[in-house]
Amino acid sequence: MLPGEKEDEQLAAEIMRRRFFPALITHKAWEGFHFAGHEIRITEATDCYGAVVWPSALVLCYFLETNSKQYNLVDKNVIEIGAGTGLVSIVASLLGALVTATDLPELLGNLQHNVLRNTKLKCKHQPRVKELSWGIDLEKNFPRSSCHFDYILAADVVYNHPFLDELLLTFDHLCKNDTVILWAMKFRLDKENQFVGRFQTLFDLEVISNFPSLNITLYKAMRKGRMKARPSKLMV
Ligand SMILES: C[S@@+](CC[C@H](N)C(=O)[O-])C[C@H]1O[C@@H](n2cnc3c(N)ncnc32)[C@H](O)[C@@H]1O
């Protein structure tokens, strides 16, 4: 799926329509989303980046839902890094994956709440929530010898934060030769955007979806030399 310029705004609008807001104001703020045949309720906060659902997450969820034949997640071992409120992990779980949703320790309470509320008795595999602070204790918490992920999911993990080196280390640590990375990147400032070039020193990248109207590109990546060749116009 690579939308042309004309389709970009139309498809972006279709993706954003998957979000809805409660008709009544309740004591706890939440937002609703429609994905994978379910109504998903996400509790948000306003005090940190991971406490709201970012548009990149919707782009990735829409892709997973609409490409579930080509990217069949049933029984696949999936990790999400920087999961935030958990929408992507929830959708991957609803699509049949065994998911590990990860983020910083201070995000885990709300993440666990959202994951449990939206997946309990609805999924083939109950997702796990686990701390993963980029670059920290990777071998201790995710030993290379025993951790094998079919997919690494990441939505909007590159922005003005001081952990870009650690983020690259984390992708490198978690990614095996056959692991597929699906990464929705929101382009903001040049300094952070250059991360894409650094990422390409380790991984081959393919644009699978591009939304100029949202400044979001969805990439598939694999370790260098592991990706099957595709038409050259898709390679970046
Ligand atoms: C912009 S938010 C995106 C959240 C979610 N993926 C989404 O798209 O809605 C970035 C996420 O990265 C997480 N994050 C930032 N720095 C991190 C670090 N050093 N280690 C682990 N997670 C981090 C934040 O806590 C937050 O959940």
- What are 158's two structure tokens? 């590159």
Asked if the structure places residue 235 within a domain, the reply is no
- Say if 229 falls within a structural domain: no
Structure-token pair, residue 236: 């970046």
Range of 190's domain?
A: 5-224
In a domain, 92, yes or no: yes
Q: Each residue of 150-196: pLDDT tens digit?
A: 999 999 999 999 999 999 999 999 999 999 999 999 999 988 889 99
Tell me which of 58, 85, 156, 188 to substitute to probe ligand 1's pocket, judged by most ligand atoms within 8 Å of the beta carbon.
156
The ligand 1 atom nearest the CA atom of 132: 21
pLDDT at 3: 60
- Alpha carbon separation from 188 to 9, 47, 134, 185 (Å, rounded): 18, 21, 21, 9
Overall number of domains in the chain: 1
Burial class (CB in 10 A: 0-12, 13-18, 19+), 69: exposed
Residue 236 within a domain = no
**CATH number of the domain to which 168 belongs:** 3.40.50.150
pTM confidence score: 0.93
In a domain, 233, yes or no: no
- Ligand 1 center–CA 84 separation, angstroms: 6
The residue behind tokens 């429609």 is 34
pLDDT at 235 over 60: no
pLDDT of res. 206? 96
Tell me, yes or no, whether 231 lies in a domain. Answer: no
Residue 81 in domain = yes
- Structural domain includes residue 234: no
Mutate to test the pocket of ligand 1, among 80, 132, 157 (most ligand atoms within 8 A of CB): 157
Question: Is residue 233 scored above 60 in pLDDT?
Answer: no
Residue nearest to atom 5 of ligand 1 (CA): 84
